Each structure stands twice: as C-alpha cells, then as structure tokens.
Amino acid sequence: MFTGIVEEIGSVKAVKRNGPSLRLVLSAVKVLDDVKLGDSIAVNGICLTVTTFDDATFSVDVMPETLKASSLDGVKPGTQVNLERAMPANGRFGGHFVSGHVDGVGRITKKRPLANAVYIDIQCDRALLSYIVPKGSICVDGTSLTVFDVSERGFTLSLIPHTYSETVLGMKQTGDLVNLECDLLAKYMEKVVGQSKMTLESLTEQGYGKAGW
C-alpha cells in the first residue's frame, strides 16, 4: 500500500526487453536507504518488486499485463520517474489509499499556469470517469492529487509549486501519457452497490417483495 506522496525522482538507467516483458534498472538515492530484496516500490504509480539492488540502483521486472495497462512500455534510459516506498505501519498517511495497481493511462491535453498554480487537463477512457469526481482523489504517475474539475472526456488538476517541481508531472508535456489509478474506495463502492442491485433484481424475479410475501 502506498500514499501517493512521491519520495524522490529517479531515473531509468537501463531497459532490458524479453519479448512482451522487460526488466528496468533504476537509479535512486532515498528509496535505497533501507531496501531489501522483495520490497515494493511504486515506479510512476506502479507497484513493482525489487529483484536486485546495489548502493545506487535497483532492478524490477515488468510483466506483459503491466505494460499493457501502463505507460512503462515507452520508457528508455534517461526517463525520469516518481518513486515511493511502500508505506510503513508507523508512517504518516499524507495522501490517500494507493494500491499501485494502475487502472489505465491518460494523456495530457493542456497545461496552463495561473497565479501560483499550474492547471493540467488529462484525457482518459470514459470508463474511468465514473470513478473521478470534483474534489475527489486520484493518483497520477504515483502522485496523490485532488481533482479540480471533470468533463465528458477527462479531468483537470491544479498543482501547487511544490508538487510541480518535486514530481515528474512538472516535466511532462502536452501529449505525454500518465498512469492513472482511481480512488480505491470508489471502486469498492461500485462493486458493493452493483452486487446489491443484482441481489435485489434476483429477489424481485423470484417474487419476493410482492403482495403476500
């Protein structure tokens, strides 16, 4: 489990492809302080497992399904990425519940400064928009953010200077892809409501609720 509070910006040092999967070697500093084999580190919001490490780098394996659902297929040596270690049990919870399981990708369609903020418009699949609401939480490239506005085709973020400078979102340009993880609580709620609706419809078909029952 993660919080979406990015700890540092790392860099892709090497990309080793093996058919539909790949291995990434990433350079980092802070997330290597107490790293162990098997630890989970979110790379641009994607929960990946540390397979090897040294004083300056760590390696992760990326499965085919992860490549299909995320923007990692486009990384190359030199690509900078957001990094966050899994949340410790005694740590501060500064963002929101982030699983590191990306729901899909979005595309930046517009960036514009206003006073001390930068507004970013992101277009995404309409299926994801049902989980995105104004003032709600969303994880974009591993960064916990508040949704400013929602349209029929996407949503808008408003970034403060710190977030803009301390995450890769400040480096992204119009047309770039970003990883999206919708609010975990919203997805669970949809599941519960959907199951309740199916149960109610089933009972109605069997005659429950009618006069005499």
- For the stretch 52-61, contacts whose Cβ atoms lie closer than 8 Å and that sit 24 or more positions apart, written own/partner, are 56/27, 56/28, 56/29, 56/32, 57/13, 57/25, 57/26, 57/27, 57/28, 58/25, 58/26, 58/28, 58/31, 58/32, 59/23, 59/24, 59/25, 59/26, 60/23, 60/24, 60/26, 61/21, 61/22, 61/23
CB 8 within 8 A of CB 83: yes
Q: What is the CATH number of domain 8-85?
A: 2.40.30.20
pLDDT tens digits along 11-42: 999 999 998 999 999 999 999 999 999 999 99
Least-confidence region, from 109-118, 125-134, 188-197: 188-197
Residues of the chain with CATH 2.40.30.20: 8-85, 104-195
C-alpha span between 83 and 65 (Å, rounded): 21
pLDDT tens digits along 43-78: 999 999 999 999 999 999 999 999 999 999 999 999
Looking at this protein, which amino acid is placed at residue 85? R
| Mean predicted confidence (pLDDT) in 113-137 | 95
For domain 104-195, the CATH class is mainly beta
Beta bridge partners of 98: 2
Task: Identify which of 9, 39, 44, 42 has the alpha carbon closest to the alpha carbon of residue 27.
Answer: 9
Q: In the prediction, which pLDDT does 75 show?
A: 95
Mean pLDDT estimate for the chain: 91
